[in-house]
C-alpha cells in the first residue's frame, strides 16, 4: 500500500513540475477575423498569435471570452493575465494597463448601406443615427463629432444587424473587421475616412514588465521567422 502511495506521489509531483504555467487571456470573440466563434470555438488571428507566443515563452494559453468593456476590469482584478482583442493602444488605457509592442495597424471606417450616397466623411454623420460598439475607439471618435445621434451596441455583429435592418444610417468600425463583416453581409459598403492610425497590442497588468518583455521577444521571433505572415495569409484572404 505504502509503495503504491509512494508511486502515486511521485507521479503527482511529476505532473505538477511538468505542467506548464497557465496564462489566462481575455478576448471578446465578436471581432472577426481577429476573434470570433466558429463551430462553438473561439478562433481568429489573435487566438493563433497568442498561442504561438505561448509556445515561444513556454506557457499554456487559456482563452476567456468576456464582453469588450469588461476586459480591462478583468485584467485589473487579476481574473486574467493578458488581453488580446484587437485592442488599440490609447493614452487612457495605458493608465490602467501596460501594452506590448504593436502587432497590427488599423483605422476606423464608416459602414453604410450600398445605396447610401450622402455619407462621405465624419462631418456628414451629423443628424444621422450612427451605430458604435460600446467602449471601442470608434465610440470615442464619434463622440467628438457634434450633432451625431450615436447609438451604442454591445458588439460589432449586433451593430451590423441594426444597419442591415435599417435601424441606423451608418456605423463606425475598425477597418479589418468592417471588411470581414461587409464581405459576409450583402448590401453594405465601406466609406474610407481620414482618421488617425490605431495600433493593436497585447495588454498586461501594470508591474508585469517581465511578461511584456517575453511577449515582445516572442513577437520579434514570430515576425522574423515568417510565422506572422503565415497568420496574415490564413486570416485575411
Nearest alpha carbon to residue 153 among 178, 140, 171, 126: 171
Can you state the percent helix, strand and coil of the chain, rounding each to 5? 40, 30, 30
Nearest alpha carbon to residue 122 among 164, 158, 160, 172: 172
**Nearest residue (CB) to ligand GLN, 45 versus 68:** 68
Q: What is the SS3 string spanning 125-154?
A: HCCCEEEEECCCHHHHHHHCCCCCEEEEEC
**Nearest residue (CB) to ligand GLN, 31 versus 228:** 31
26, 28, 157, 211: which one binds ligand GLN (CB under 6 A): 28
Total residue count of the chain as it appears in this document? 237
Kindly state the number of chain residues that form the binding site for ligand GLN, as judged by CB under 6 A. 11
Binding residues for ligand GLN restricted to 163-202, rule: CB under 6 A: 174, 198
45 binds ligand GLN (CB under 6 A): no
**Nearest residue (CB) to ligand GLN, 96 versus 225:** 96
23, 29, 31, 182: which one binds ligand GLN (CB under 6 A): 31
159 binds ligand GLN (CB under 6 A): no
Report d(CA 41, CA 36) in Å as an integer: 8
32, 88, 111, 172: which one binds ligand GLN (CB under 6 A): 88
Nearest alpha carbon to residue 89 among 79, 77, 103, 78: 103
CB atoms under 10 Å from CB of 90, counted, come to 13
In angstroms, give the least distance from the CB of 16 to ligand GLN.
Answer: 35
99, 136, 153, 228: which one binds ligand GLN (CB under 6 A): 136
Name the site residues for ligand GLN (rule: CB under 6 A).
28, 31, 68, 85-88, 136-137, 174, 198
Amino acid at each position: 500500500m505504502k509503495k503504491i502511495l509512494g508511486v502515486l506521489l511521485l507521479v503527482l509531483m511529476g505532473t505538477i513540475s511538468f505542467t506548464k504555467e497557465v496564462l489566462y487571456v481575455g478576448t471578446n470573440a465578436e471581432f472577426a477575423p481577429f476573434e470570433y466563434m466558429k463551430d462553438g470555438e473561439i478562433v481568429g488571428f489573435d487566438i493563433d498569435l497568442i498561442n504561438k507566443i505561448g509556445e515561444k515563452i513556454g506557457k499554456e494559453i487559456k482563452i476567456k471570452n468576456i464582453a469588450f468593456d469588461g476586459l480591462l476590469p478583468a485584467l485589473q482584478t487579476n481574473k486574467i493575465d493578458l488581453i488580446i482583442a484587437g485592442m488599440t493602444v490609447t493614452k487612457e488605457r495605458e493608465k490602467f494597463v501596460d501594452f506590448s509592442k504593436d502587432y497590427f495597424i488599423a483605422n476606423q471606417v464608416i459602414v453604410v448601406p450600398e445605396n447610401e450616397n450622402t455619407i462621405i466623411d465624419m462631418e456628414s454623420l451629423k443628424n444621422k443615427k450612427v451605430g458604435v460598439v460600446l467602449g471601442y475607439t470608434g465610440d470615442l471618435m464619434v463622440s467628438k463629432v457634434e450633432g451625431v445621434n450615436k447609438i451604442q451596441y454591445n458588439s460589432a455583429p449586433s451593430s451590423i444587424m441594426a444597419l442591415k435592418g435599417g435601424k441606423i444610417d451608418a456605423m463606425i468600425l475598425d477597418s479589418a473587421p468592417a471588411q470581414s463583416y461587409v464581405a459576409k453581409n450583402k448590401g453594405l459598403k465601406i466609406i474610407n475616412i481620414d482618421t488617425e492610425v490605431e495600433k493593436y497590442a497585447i495588454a498586461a497588468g501594470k508591474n508585469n514588465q517581465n511578461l511584456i518583455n517575453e511577449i515582445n521577444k516572442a513577437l520579434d521571433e514570430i515576425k522574423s521567422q515568417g510565422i506572422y505572415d503565415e497568420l496574415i495569409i490564413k486570416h485575411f484572404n
